[in-house]
Amino acid sequence: MTKPIILIGAIALFVAYLAWAVSGIPLLGDDWGHAQLAVKGLSEIWSTSWVGERDVGGYYRPVSETTFYLFGTGSVAVHLFNLAVHLLVSAVVALLAVRLLPTAKGAALGSGLLFFVLPIHVSDVFWGVGRGDMLCTLFYCASLLVFPSADDRGIRRALWVGCFALAGYLSKEMALTLPAALVMLAAYESTLKRPSTRAAIIASAVAVVVCGVLRWIVLGSAWGNVPTPGLGAFVFDAFRAAGLMGISDIKAFGVPLLVFTLVTGVVLRRDPRHLILLVALTGIAVLPALGRLHRWYLYLPSVFYALFLASIWLSERSKAVQVRQFVFGLLVSYYAGVTGAQALDWRDAGRLSDRFLKRTVDAIESGDGRVLLLNVPAALDGIPIFAHNLLPALRTHGVEPDEVILGTHVWLLDTEGGVEVERRAGSVFDLTFRESRLSFHQGESPKMEGRTLVAQVVETSWGLIEVASDRAAMVRVDALATGDRVLAYSGSEYEVFTFE
């Protein structure tokens, strides 16, 4: 009786810690655009893309957007909602284990716990827009749960599958592989010939058509305006995804973990049918992300990854059960520690975001002229800050875009900035980047070698940028007049330069 109480207490403490951590994270990056659309109301949410445009393609995710409208756009409400959804999805993963892994009794709780603490999920849980992946995963897994089993011959479950499927598709496009996943599950359970099973699969496919029609009406394209990846990128991302799902603070940690798990499964002679099903479900779930892989796209595939690991490590076969359970417990504890530490990194990024936003608003309101911004923080060590979304953030604070000119952006590696700005003369500034690099986010198309900027001159609407490398550049400002100012992020401070 003592062990369950300790486990429940540990889970409660960790959830409470995460609730405290996320409540201190402001809106970041794309969150501002979603918040701006949500306050316009349900008619705008359901009749425009997620950036509030029509007939121009893009993303259509009205279910995710509606949750911003219903539950609030304040930072605390946004992040606590995300944490609650993550908890709910983790519980559904445990229930899914009961259905998919009937011979691994201990895998249900273990898979849910592992899924909850996987560090690959930090972008989804700590970033407001991550709810799109979480909601589509919730409805995807719910569809698998209510999918007719061998003992169910009615069509009521088929209707539930159709409803959950449509909700998943309208949360995020990652859910569009659901019909294929249902076919795999039916083949695994030998129920493909049952009318109720076929009705459920058809319902999920009809939901795809409905989603496509809605996208065509709103965006002018059912599935277009998304770049098609090359075969090389497709294959490369497939291997990357396998390693990334187990990532920790050690980037390569997921690869040996997966290899060691596979070897353990072979030694235990684990039932290959379960493992083949989970590998197939993982592959089909990750398919839409290949060629354009970001970590937050792996939220859905990692459901089956967690089930795969738990089914092997918590298998009750052989005499080494307690040893494997202990190792699995260490893994979950380690991942929880990594996730908890990364929560503090997101709070640091949030504080930097708040300071820059406040300083920018103060600079704009302290004078009548326009303000050009140099070195807008785009991200902090991979954590989004503003990038394309400073203007929506300023609008939220009552500042209109015609008062602001966005200049250069900077990718930061630490909170000290590592960037210096010196005014050479008049309207010419020298930018030096140490623990950071120059970045472009305003439609410019600089020349790159891989991910590195090469020497070039980039003309902009406000002047030009003479790039020496991604570590040094010269900026000439032509668009400002007397009374206008330049606000530059330099080091960890903000400098204001006035034109007279």
Q: Is residue 324 part of a domain?
A: no
| 108 and 150 fall within a common domain | yes
Q: Is residue 6 part of a domain?
A: no
Of 20-29, 196-205, 307-316, 319-328, the poorest mean pLDDT is in 319-328
Q: What percent of the chain has pLDDT over 90?
A: 43
Q: Work out whether the CA dihedral 191, 197, 202, 207 comes out positive or negative.
A: negative
| 393 and 445 fall within a common domain | yes
Q: Which tokens is 211 given?
A: 């989603």
pLDDT tens digit string along 219-256? Answer: 887 776 555 666 777 788 888 888 889 888 888 898 89
What pLDDT does 395 receive?
85
| 365 and 305 fall within a common domain | no
Q: Is residue 27 part of a domain?
A: no
Q: Is residue 265 part of a domain?
A: yes
Domain count for the chain, please give it. 2
Q: Work out whether the CA dihedral 401, 404, 405, 407 comes out positive or negative.
A: negative
| 366 and 454 fall within a common domain | yes
| 260 and 114 fall within a common domain | yes
| 313 and 374 fall within a common domain | no
Q: Is residue 24 part of a domain?
A: no
Residue 69: closest CA among 40, 93, 26: 40
What pLDDT does 269 receive?
67
| 256 and 378 fall within a common domain | no
pLDDT tens digit string along 345-354? Answer: 999 999 989 9
What radius of gyration do the chain's Cα atoms show?
25
Q: Is residue 72 part of a domain?
A: yes
Average pLDDT score over residue span 484-497: 83
Cα 9 from chain centre: 29
Contacts of residue 175, defined as CB under 8 A and 6 or more positions apart, other chains included, come to 136, 137, 139, 140, 165, 168, 169, 300
Residue 267: closest CA among 205, 327, 313, 209: 313
Of 131-140, 145-154, 382-391, 458-467, the poorest mean pLDDT is in 145-154
Q: Is residue 470 part of a domain?
A: yes
| 65 and 104 fall within a common domain | yes
| 57 and 181 fall within a common domain | yes
pLDDT tens digit string along 283-328? Answer: 999 998 888 888 899 999 999 999 999 988 887 766 678 888 899 9
What pLDDT does 303 receive?
97
Band (1; pLDDT cuts 50, 70, 90): low
Of 318, 340, 375, which marks where a domain is finished?
A: 318
- Helix (H), strand (E) at residue 498: strand 493-498
| 209 and 161 fall within a common domain | yes
| 228 and 270 fall within a common domain | yes
| 311 and 355 fall within a common domain | no
d(CA 282, CA 335): 20
- Which of 179-188, 457-466, 484-493 has the highest average model confidence (pLDDT)? 179-188
Q: Is residue 481 part of a domain?
A: yes
d(CA 354, CA 107): 42
d(CA 116, CA 119): 9
Average pLDDT score over residue span 46-59: 78
In terms of pLDDT, which residue wins out, 50 or 9?
Answer: 9
The secondary structure of residue 31, as a DSSP letter, is H
Give the 3-state DSSP-derived string for 386-443, with helices as H, strands as E and coil as C.
CCCCHHHHHHHCCCCHHHEEECCEEEECCCCCCEEEEEEECCEEEEEECCEEEECCCC
Instruction: Please give the residue range of the domain that contains residue 254.
Output: 39-318
